[in-house]
Structures are given as C-alpha cells and as structure tokens.
Structure 1
Amino acid sequence: MTRGLRGATTVLQNEENQMVENTRILIEEMVEKNNVHPTDISHVFISVTKDLNAGFPAKSLRKIPGWTFVPVMCMQEIDVPNSLPKCIRVMMVVNTSEDQNKIQHVFHHEAVRLRPDLVKEENK
C-alpha cells in the first residue's frame, strides 16, 4: 500500500540556506516518526509559496545519507490570497503497511496552522 505523508514548515526570509535547512529538518522528522527508509519512498513533491524563490528546498534531500535515488520535484504552490506566506509543503509517497490513521504528519513553525487537526501534541 502507498500512503501520503504530509509535512510543512515556514521560513523567516527568502534565503536558500534557511529553505534547505528547514526542509531537511522537517523531512528527517517525517521519516523518523513514520519509520520510513529511503527505499520505502516512491517520490516526494515539495511546493513553495510564491514568495520563496531563492533556491530549491529539494536540495535538502541530497544532504540525507541514502537518499540519492529518491525522486523529488519542486513546484510553486497555488497563490491563494491571504494564504500562509513563506511556506514549504512536502508530500512524501511511501510504501507502508500502516493504516492511514496511524500516519504521523509533521508541521513546523507557522505551518502548524495549516492542519491543526493533524498536528500531534508533541509537534506543537
């Protein structure tokens, strides 16, 4: 079975190192909480809001050992008026035997506002 793992984070400014580092921290927590290994991952989509264009947050995956062959793609999020600014969203598709309600989605910084219903107490 494949399942989607959601994650999101924000940055304070449009700066490549901050985008890459916050994304790396987010992804590492997503895989840790869900006991995911690189070979379990089908692909990863990363979207950024219109105000983030200083770099590719997907570079963060290349800093994680064992992730060389994980397919990843960056794209721009839909520019909805009054949406959360400076936000990086991750959709990771993984092979897992976990039930959908057991998947732990991870939200950092201001992104906890996106899906408060999915944020576990320890992520707040």
Structure 2
Amino acid sequence: MAVRAVRGAVQLERDDAGHMRDQVGELLTVVLERNGLTADDLISIWFTATPDLHSDFPAAAARDLGIVDVPLICAQELDIAGAMPRVVRLLAHVETDLPKSAVAHVYLGAAAALRKDIAQ
C-alpha cells in the first residue's frame, strides 16, 4: 500500500454555507469514487479557499459526510490578481494500491480550467 496525493477543486456559484457544503461534499464524493477509495483510506485532507469565501469552513463538508476521524485543515489561497474567484481546492493524502499515473485528480465544473493538464 502506498501513500498518494489526490488533488481537486470546485468553483462555487456564491459564498453561501449550504452551497459550499454541497459543492465540497460533491467534490469529496467524486474524488473517493473515481479513485476507488473509502473514508478509511484517507490519511489527511488540506482544503484551501480563495479570499472571497467567508461563509464556512470547507472541511465542514467532510464532517457532514461522516469523515470524522481524519485530520483536516483549512487555509486561504493566495490573493492573486486575475485568479479564478470562489474556488475551494483540496489535497488529500490517501493509502492506495494505485500507481501515481492512475490517480484521478478531480476538477469539477469551471474549476477544470485550473488544471487542464490533469483534470479528469
């Protein structure tokens, strides 16, 4: 079993706590599904949010999904001129038998434009 990192992102339509929890919850669910993972495979998740998001902690969505015994942390993205607004990103460390080349990084909706080279 190897430790791998999985990336993901989603752009929110608005800064609203319920919307954030729904969208980040969907992102986490898709990351797990596309990589054949369960919550037991998670080691930790690092969330970032752009500076224009204030309504909630992205990690709250993981707790809503029942991910309660995994270390989570939230941080703010750099405030770069011209950067895509209202984006939540994640970096999940997981235990998996997948080779690096088979890890599915997930960029939902408009966030796919952030990493066209690895978005699946």
What TM bracket, shorter-length normalisation? over 0.9
State the alpha-carbon separation in 1 of the partners of residues 119 and 57 from structure 2: 26
State the alpha-carbon separation in 2 of the partners of residues 69 and 6 from structure 1: 20
State the alpha-carbon separation in 1 of the partners of residues 3 and 78 from structure 2: 25
Q: How many residues align?
A: 119
Q: Which residue number in structure 2 is paired with residue 107 of structure 1?
A: 107
- What's the TM-score, normalizing by structure 2? 0.95
1:1-124 mapped onto 2 (5 Å cutoff): 1-65=2-66, 67-120=67-120
Which string of whole-angstrom CA distances, capped at 9 and with x for unpartnered residues, describes residues 58-105 of structure 1?
11111213x110111111011111111000001000011211010001
State the alpha-carbon separation in 1 of the partners of residues 109 and 52 from structure 2: 17
- What's the TM-score, normalizing by structure 1? 0.92
| Distance apart, 1:51 and its partner CA | 0.2
State the alpha-carbon separation in 2 of the partners of residues 42 and 113 from structure 1: 27
State the alpha-carbon separation in 1 of the partners of residues 109 and 12 from structure 2: 8
Can you give the 5+ residue segments of structure 1 that lack an aligned partner in the other structure? none
Query: What amino acid sits opposite 1:24 in the alignment?
Result: G
| Distance apart, 1:40 and its partner CA | 1.2
Can you give the 5+ residue segments of structure 2 that lack an aligned partner in the other structure? none
**Structure 1 residue ranges, 4+ long, deviating more than 3 angstroms after superposition:** none
State the alpha-carbon separation in 1 of the partners of residues 58 and 21 from structure 2: 5
CA RMSD in angstroms comes to 0.9
Identity within the alignment, %: 27
State the alpha-carbon separation in 2 of the partners of residues 10 and 107 from structure 1: 9
| Distance apart, 1:6 and its partner CA | 0.5
Query: What amino acid sits opposite 1:34 in the alignment?
Result: N
Query: What amino acid sits opposite 2:14 in the alignment?
Result: Q
